[in-house]
Structure 1
């Protein structure tokens, strides 16, 4: 007889509980989540510490009421709390993907790549060092096998720096520092869980002393497999989300499924790191999502994930803390010594990284300088939390791990977590106050006083106008005016006492404010849909670099960042290499089109910032600073215009297509505003307004399609612009276009080496080059050529040629050049003129037959 189907044990576990009791407990947990945040703010403690404390109190209370004989009325509630299906898989498969995925959606990947060295040091190297430090220290202090000790080291090496990040934000710490800590929180869980999986396998197999080299050799395989799995899952999800078009809820639903499918696929199907798969999927969606989804849909998707992550983070802390009383039930006196060993070894490992390796990397300029007070704050803010407890729980649940090992793993992980939460968490703000990180710098304090004085003066004028308009009682007006005047006098006095702000500091603060206004203008254009959301992130990243450049280097730092924003990065140069050497033009075409649109947007935004300088900055920092900022802004505008003009010369007509697209976008936005105003005024009904909005959405979708940049077509247009090809007929021009090869040269790049054999001639489509030979220098620009003399004179090149600005060259090989020269009088005349300009005698060109021609 076939047996009746029975649900799995975990499902029976939940079904056996009274649904009313379970619902009540869940509702109560959400009530605690809501109360924990204001309580943490009132007590000035990290939010995670309050959640952990509440969880411990609930777990300890449930155990107490269940075992005491004082009352049996609360036994059902206590049993329900202790019977909650809290398993390690719940943390690792339900909560952890949510938290990691939300973080990846919010990070600025391009800015994080600027600091990839310190992030990897803290997230990967520090985890490995902590694992080894704790493992070997425990192996020395106890009789535990090395594999078990390294397993415990991996469990306690993962940090939860959310507390220190939140405090850094509240005290306006440098953005770069907060970004490094956020990057650590994103990757250290992945590194720790990957190491945990390796050593857990050794423990279950009974291998006491694992070969450390073999274990670490498997580490990259786990990382690479997870990264590929996450990338493929995200690409499929983005395709589905774009396919669903205007169905915003469907797109958000696909995003909710993505991290879980990536995690399960990597762990169960590929055998790789599920955490890395989630991180890779989130970063891929972060990079590609804004360009494939409408801005409103992307913003709503981010808000949904922020809420999910808030709930998941709070629940994971409370539920994990519920386990602490049970994990500590079998603690012994000798265990406290081992907890102390783990604590000292983990702190020592972090000290080595923060005060040894990071300063060394800063000396060789691989990492930004992290000041000593901030390093102390990072050290003391390395709290452990739910992930550590979840990994320890996974060990205690395994039937293949010895009982004593399970007991020690649970006690040591829990004891160390409690130390970080109770000791470090409760004193973190005090440490930061002692370090002076919660106080404004003298410059910021002086600026604050001056800003308050200017603001209060404006408020007094507005209040005076208001009292006159409303004809308020004179006695009341006088009393309030006196009271307000005393505050204003105090602010003015404080500003005068701090009037010693140096001009360079005022300029730096003004540049920071100017870059902030630029950022606000970009966000406003994204909201109005007059700028592509897909390009918003690189533009905002450049603005962040301007802010940090002004903050750290003042005027020079701002100028360096502005210059770098117009340069060609490594990615662009890689695309140029693919085009020049492999004839793969698609990446270069896409990046060039992006550069076109970014420069157009920057030009429009920069032109609007002059009013901000005159209207806001002048009132706070004075006329001299405002004039200097206007001068710096004018230089930026000129540099952007120059870069844009260079692209126009390279690709005639394409910039005009993008400008037409911008005008169409602006017109659609203005039309949408008019319909909204008519709807609010009651001039049109809701049904007509909906129809009009649908029509605008349809036209906007068509307008979002960016004109395609076809490098082959643009090359044909360039060829027609050269005067030396003016006498060629249409068929000859087509043949020449196919023969010419486009080459891009960055500023300073060596195009021709001295004494090299002549094999081709280069025509300058845009940009300029410099020829240096025998102590003499010539400069050639658009429409000119070089390399023809060496070919005609049949001698090695005597000149070294470098591009002095980003340039586009059209290269023609020697055989085709000679054939073209034979039938083109215009080209022959250009060659003679070039020879005369360089002082080359006509008879020197006789071997080529040019003199006779």
Structure 2
């Protein structure tokens, strides 16, 4: 007798938890370990085939993954790298899709006796494998101390190229099913879908932040964010615009404005933990399913198509990174060659590719072939690129040495002790600590602060580039705070609209000069040092 769906789900949770605990003791990313375990389970037929319906995958899994990713992006960091991310996520995805499609279609045309693979299938495949998944990459970056800006670019690119790729998937799926194609109409549909979806998400996110400001209960606010994630997706899809971009917009607004305006510190932690767990759960199921589904797809007879798919994906990613890098250098701080190499090789495919593959209509011509090609790409990037990325980072000299980690450690200690000082002052103010005990503890803490600042200054002397980057970031945050203060003064009736616009214009001008000076410094600095 076969296992019921509830028992299968329970076993998936048990396996995911066991793998997560096991990876704490081995140097293997969690997502890659899940795929390996899934492949073994599939080969040994330990679990029967589990069919994930397109509705479940698209309407449940996708909003959870995208909302959690957007929720955790700092919008100031996003703005600082917006030009680089936008170039990779829009022209980069379009270029990757096109190059992948051309290579794939050409390969099938040269395959004597191969399947009748149309342009529609080629572009559909290109759009699906254009979506990257940075989970294992970012985990490795955190472990090795890779520079913050590179991590932000990879994470930001992934979120928005997922959105663009899913919209492209929707447009191109109709072509693969035999619908008439009009380039102008498809382009208009694409732009309206992306912009309209993002706009709906931003509006809903800000509106929900206002609602959450009326309550202070972490359970209610978790429920409200859940409602927001799914309602943004469903409303946008009902309006025939991108539900994916709507979820991203809603997640960005909630994570950056809702958490500041509407949530207490306790609620903020609870909401963040809830979404972290939800994403962990969905990713665990999807990455296990990647391995398990391998037994369903028969790669043997399709080895030519599988090799072609991997080669086409590599060509598409190379075009997306190396062709957009010169353009990024014109609109933002240039990307060092070593960073371009990591962006190329670190373009891991994962959950979103699986979501799109599993959502292909059952009656789509050549569906099994497409599934085999997509699974092959995902497994190749996870097992080959994912496992070799650490070696690539070493070869390119992007792993921070002990001295750089010493500087970061000093900064972390200073930050932590600053919070201790604040807590000490609050304890006295709330009557939780007597004045006599305060006078006993405060001098000790002050001595500790002086020691840590001295250590930080000593470490900073060896890392002038990091200090300069830190100064740029501080100036940028102060300018944002100044803009917020001007807007608050206008809303409070202290200044007129005309004065507000004048003052904001002056701040924007200082923003412009800060960006110019930052870009020049980045261009004149040795790449290895700036990294």
Higher RCO, 1 vs 2 (CA within 8 Å, ≥6 residues apart): 2
1:199 to 172, 178, 188: 172
Specify which of 182, 198, 208 is matched with residue 227 of structure 1.
198
Deviation at 1:176, TM superposition (A): 1.2
- Aligned partner of 2:40 among 38, 49, 57: 57
Instruction: List per-residue Cα deviations over 1:635-658 (Å, max 9, x = no partner).
Output: xxxxxxxxxxxxxxxxxxxxxxxx
Match of 1:169, SS state, is helix
Q: Does 1:181 align with 2:150?
A: no
Aligned-pair CA distance for 1:150: 0.5
Deviation at 1:138, TM superposition (A): 1.8
CA distance in 2, matches of 1:180, 1:28: 36
Residue 100 of structure 1 corresponds to 66
User: Aligned-pair RMSD on alpha carbons?
Assistant: 3.6
2:362 is the alignment partner of 1:398: yes
Kindly state the Cα deviation for residue 110 of structure 1 after the two structures are TM-superposed: 1.2
Corresponding residue for residue 313 of structure 1: 283
For residue 320 of structure 2, what is the aligned residue in structure 1? 353
Say if 1:93 and 1:239 are closer, same or farther in 2 by CA, change over 3 A. Answer: same
> How far is the alpha carbon of 1:152 from its aligned partner?
0.9
CA contact (8 A) 1:549 1:561 kept: no
Normalized per residue, the structure richer in strand is: 1
> Which residue of structure 1 aligns with residue 256 of structure 2?
287
- Shift of residue 85, structure 1, vs aligned partner: 4.2
Q: Distance in 2 between matches of 1:554 and 1:409?
A: 46
CA 1:238–1:742: 2 relative to 1, 3 Å: closer
1:325 is the counterpart of 2:282: no
Checking the alignment, whether the CA contact within 8 Å between 1:328 and 1:410 is kept in structure 2 is no
After TM superposition, give the deviation of residue 291 of structure 1 in Å.
0.9
- C-alpha separation between the residues in 2 aligned to 1:555 and 1:437? 18
**Which residue of structure 1 aligns with residue 311 of structure 2?**
344
Give the superposition deviation at 1:181: 1.1
Do structure 1's residue 247 and structure 2's residue 213 form an aligned pair? no
2:193, 2:242 within 8 Å by CA — same for their partners in 1? Answer: yes
Quick check: 2:209–2:254 contact (8 Å CA) kept in 1? Answer: yes
Between the aligned partners of 1:99 and 1:184, the Cα distance in structure 2 is 15
Cα deviation for residue 206 of structure 1 reads: 4.1
Deviation at 1:200, TM superposition (A): 0.4
Per-residue displacement from partner, 1:201-237 (whole Å, max 9, x unpaired)? Answer: 1222444xx3444423321111122123323332443
Query: Could you tell me how far 1:278 is from its partner in structure 2?
Result: 0.6
Give the direction of change, closer, same or farther, for the CA distance of 1:709–1:527 in structure 2 (3 Å limit): farther
Contact 2:62 2:355 in 1 (8 A): no
Shift of 1:558: 5.2
CA contact (8 A) 2:146 2:400 kept: no
User: Matched residues in 2 for 1:222 and 1:345: separation?
Assistant: 27
Offset at residue 548 of structure 1 (A): 12
SS in 1 for 2:159: helix
- CA spacing shift, 1:567–1:205, aligned 2, 3 Å: same
Q: Describe the SS at the equivalent of 1:368.
A: coil
Aligned to 1:293, what secondary structure does the other structure show? coil
Larger mean CA deviation between 110-119 and 26-35 belongs to: 26-35
Residue segments in structure 1 that go unaligned for 5+ positions in a row: 1-15, 66-77, 449-508, 531-546, 573-586, 594-707, 716-739, 750-853
CA change 1:31–1:554 in 2 (3 A) is: closer
Query: Which among 378, 381, 384 is matched to residue 423 of structure 1?
Result: 384
Q: Do the aligned partners of 2:83 and 2:332 also contact (CA within 8 Å) in 1?
A: yes
Task: Name 2:113's counterpart in structure 1.
Answer: none
Query: In the alignment, is residue 371 of structure 1 matched against residue 336 of structure 2?
Result: yes
Alignment of 1:11-90 (within 5 A): 21-62=4-45, 78=47, 81-82=48-49, 84-90=50-56
> Which structure would you say has the larger Rg?
1
Superposition map of 1:377-392 within 5 A: 377-392=342-357
Which of 98, 119, 138 does residue 85 from structure 2 map onto? 119
1:408-557 equivalent positions in 2, closer than 5 A: 408-438=369-399, 440=401, 443-444=403-404, 448=406, 509=407, 513=410, 517=414, 521=418, 553=465
What is the CA–CA distance in structure 2 between the aligned matches of 1:302 and 1:32, rounded to whole Å?
24
What secondary structure is seen at the aligned counterpart in 2 of 1:157? coil
Partners of 2:153 and 2:317 lie apart in 1 by: 15
In the TM superposition, residue 17 of structure 1 has moved relative to its aligned partner by 7.5
TM-score with structure 1 length normalisation? Answer: 0.50
8 Å CA contact 1:86–1:319 kept in 2: the answer is no
Tell me the SS of whatever aligns to 2:318: helix
Displacement of 1:196: 0.5
CA distance in 1, matches of 2:63, 2:227: 10
Query: Is 1:141 matched with 2:107?
Result: yes
**Selected match of 2:187 from 204, 213, 216:** 216
The TM-score normalised by the length of structure 2 is 0.78
Residues 89, 164 of structure 2: 8 Å contact kept? yes
Residues 170-217 of structure 1: CA deviation (Å, up to 9, x unaligned): 11111111111111121121111110000101222444xx34444233
Alignment of 1:702-721 (within 5 A): 709-711=492-494
Change (3 A) 1:89 1:359: same
Q: Deviations over 1:660-691 (max 9, x none)?
A: xxxxxxxxxxxxxxxxxxxxxxxxxxxxxxxx
CA distance in structure 2 between the aligned counterparts of 1:382 and 1:523, rounded to whole angstroms: 40
Query: Partners of 2:251 and 2:500 in 1: how far apart?
Result: 36
Cα distance in 1 for residues equivalent to 2:27 and 2:410:
30
Give the 3-state SS of the residue equivalent to 1:325 in structure 2: coil
Counterpart in the other structure of 1:168? 141
Q: CA deviation at 1:589?
A: 5.3
Cα distance, 1:93 vs structure 2: 1.5
Q: 1:110 aligns with which of 58, 76, 79?
A: 76
Using a 3 Å threshold, how does the CA distance of structure 1 residues 96 and 711 change in structure 2: closer, same or farther? same
How many pairs were matched up? 468
